[in-house]
């Protein structure tokens, strides 16, 4: 692990996708205040996740990573967070039970507030303003005032992440995630769908198995709580750097704003500031690989980001698109494997499948999302490697942002309840349907 570079060094390298703040003194003041804030996660928890991800890289576990494309400050509330968590727990149970494999649960939450953008500006009806870069940077509202980057938002994001994580920790250890609650995670709305009914049947089977275990005197702690970790794209240098600390126990540096952090498709330049920063932290990390990534790029990234080749340290999250994965992925997996590199392979079936509907919404087809995961499983099966997991953009609410699925949402229905500020998410029924389909793929893997 390299020494952590200073913020000045990172900016001198030329960090991309950063906001331009008007008032450097105000920004410096916020950074100083963040440096004094307590950590949101602890080094030992990050190490625990690394060992779970090592099991994924060995083919002994499956990663379920899910949450919003972009969290918003306005949505930090009990219902929003618990609905999301409930669906993630349902998906995990389906994958564990129907897929017969341990599932590592990773929320894309409590820190997912900054977005890389393809364009620095956005034009609507002839008016051009700075692009929305996530609530960590500026406001979504399309007015000149709202789009000005405000450093105080970084403190708001810290507070919102702390509140979210507090609720998550209470949920996963305080009885709500107890496997004996498996029926209560199925909310009314989901229950009436066919995926919901399928889930009811599965939950009843689990109930029976639990009663049997109780009858024979097994009352394991594992049934009462789940392991759950947080993750986000570590994009904004000021925020991530201010929340990087030296662990007094080991002397190693950790990003303490989330357990797992990843490098996005737009910031993975081998000599870039993000890769330089990620080299210096000991967290488990991810790196997105899109269709333009070559096998040499992947190998160079792995050598730089994980020089000791530690299993669980590095996860490659591929996002090719349903039409490209079968051509693009094999060469990458083959060469990285031949180079002896220990990585977990995870499929992001969302970001290569986005398009604009005729009705003007950024959307994805459920069948493309499932198609990319199927391609991912097929490629790994052909190569004898392990399809280690999925990263999904999803919500626990009844939104209409992705087309298709059992509810047959069409382009016209998108307007009904489209709430995402960036990318379209699977709603709770689509998420559960997806879990059943992936469980079937796992059974055959």
Min CB(69)–Co ion separation in Å: 3
Rounded Cα distance, 76 and 162, in Å? 10
Min CB(84)–ligand PEP separation in Å: 16
Sign of CA dihedral 65, 405, 73, 79: negative
Contact segment (CB under 5 A) with Co ion among 208-216, 218-226, 231-239, 415-423 equals: 415-423
CB nearer ligand PEP, residue 245 or residue 351: 351
264 contact choice in ligand PEP, Co ion, none (CB below 5 to 8 Å, kind-dependent): ligand PEP
CB nearer ligand PEP, residue 67 or residue 396: 67
Min CB(251)–ligand PEP separation in Å: 32
Structure tokens of 319?
């996002």
Q: Is 343 in the site for Co ion (CB under 5 A)?
A: no
SS3 for 220?
A: coil
Min CB(272)–ligand PEP separation in Å: 13
Q: CB nearest ligand PEP: which residue?
A: 264
Count other C-beta atoms under 10 Å from residue 222's C-beta: 8
Q: Is 233 in the site for Co ion (CB under 5 A)?
A: no
Q: Is 423 in the site for Co ion (CB under 5 A)?
A: yes
Contact segment (CB under 5 A) with Co ion among 71-79, 210-218, 416-424, 433-441 equals: 416-424
290-294, long-range: CB < 8 A, 24+ apart = 290/265, 290/318, 290/319, 290/320, 290/351, 290/352, 291/320, 291/321, 291/324, 291/328, 291/352, 293/268, 293/332, 294/332
Rounded Cα distance, 365 and 47, in Å? 36
CB-side neighbour CA atoms (13 Å) of 283:
29
CB nearer Co ion, residue 421 or residue 445: 421
CB nearer ligand PEP, residue 52 or residue 133: 133
Phi and psi for 120 in degrees, rounded to 5? -75, -15
**394, 398, 399, 403: CA torsion to nearest 10:** 80
Min CB(309)–ligand PEP separation in Å: 24
CB nearer Co ion, residue 69 or residue 402: 69
Contact segment (CB under 5 A) with Co ion among 67-75, 101-109, 209-217, 369-377 equals: 67-75
- Residues interacting with ligand PEP, by CB under 6 A? 69, 116, 233, 264-266, 288, 319, 351, 423
Please select the residue that binds Co ion; options are 30, 40, 46, 69, rule is CB under 5 A. Answer: 69
Rounded Cα distance, 281 and 199, in Å? 40
Sign of CA dihedral 392, 39, 282, 312: negative
Min CB(365)–Co ion separation in Å: 16
Min CB(22)–ligand PEP separation in Å: 25
Segment holding 5, helix H or strand E: none
Binding site for Co ion (CB under 5 A): 69, 423
């Amino acid at each position: 692990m390299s020494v952590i570079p200073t913020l000045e060094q990172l900016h001198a390298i030329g960090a991309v996708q950063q906001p331009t703040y008007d008032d450097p003194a105000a920004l410096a003041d916020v950074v100083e205040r963040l440096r004094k804030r307590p950590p949101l996660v602890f080094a030992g928890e990050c190490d625990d996740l690394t060992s779970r991800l090592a099991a994924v890289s060995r083919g002994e576990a499956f990663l379920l990573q899910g949450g919003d494309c972009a969290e918003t400050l306005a949505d930090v509330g009990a219902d929003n967070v618990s609905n999301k968590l409930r669906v993630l727990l349902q998906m995990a149970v389906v994958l564990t039970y129907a897929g017969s494999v341990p599932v590592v649960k990773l929320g894309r939450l409590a820190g997912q507030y900054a977005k890389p953008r393809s364009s620095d500006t956005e034009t609507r009806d002839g008016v051009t303003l700075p692009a929305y870069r996530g609530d960590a940077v500026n406001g979504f509202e399309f007015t000149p005032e709202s789009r000005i980057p405000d450093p105080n938002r970084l403190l708001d994001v810290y507070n919102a992440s702390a509140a979210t994580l507090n609720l998550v920790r209470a949920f996963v250890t305080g009885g709500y995630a107890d496997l004996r609650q498996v029926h209560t995670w199925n909310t009314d709305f989901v229950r009436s769908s066919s995926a919901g009914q399928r889930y009811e049947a599965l939950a009843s089977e689990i109930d029976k198995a639990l009663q049997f275990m109780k009858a024979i005197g097994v009352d394991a702690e594992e049934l009462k709580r789940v392991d759950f970790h947080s993750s986000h794209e570590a994009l904004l240098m000021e925020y991530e750097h201010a929340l990087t600390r030296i662990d007094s126990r080991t002397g190693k540096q950790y990003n303490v704003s989330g357990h797992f952090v990843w490098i996005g498709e737009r910031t993975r330049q081998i000599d870039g500031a993000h890769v330089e920063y990620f080299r210096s932290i000991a967290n488990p990390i991810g790196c997105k690989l899109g269709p333009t990534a070559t096998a040499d790029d992947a190998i160079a990234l792995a050598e730089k980001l994980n020089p000791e080749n530690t299993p669980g340290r590095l996860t490659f999250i591929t996002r090719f698109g349903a039409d490209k994965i079968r051509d693009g992925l094999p060469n990458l997996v083959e060469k990285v494997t031949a180079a002896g590199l220990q990585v977990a392979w995870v499929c992001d079936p969302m970001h290569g499948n986005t398009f604009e509907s005729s009705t003007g919404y950024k959307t994805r087809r459920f069948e493309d999302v499932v198609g990319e995961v199927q391609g991912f499983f097929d490629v790994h099966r052909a190569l004898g490697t392990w399809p280690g997991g999925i990263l999904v953009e999803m919500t626990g609410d009844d939104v209409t942002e992705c087309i298709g699925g059992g509810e047959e949402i069409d382009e016209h229905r998108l307007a009904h309840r489209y709430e995402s500020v960036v990318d379209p998410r699977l709603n709770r029924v689509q998420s559960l349907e997806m879990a059943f389909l992936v469980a079937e793929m796992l059974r055959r893997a």
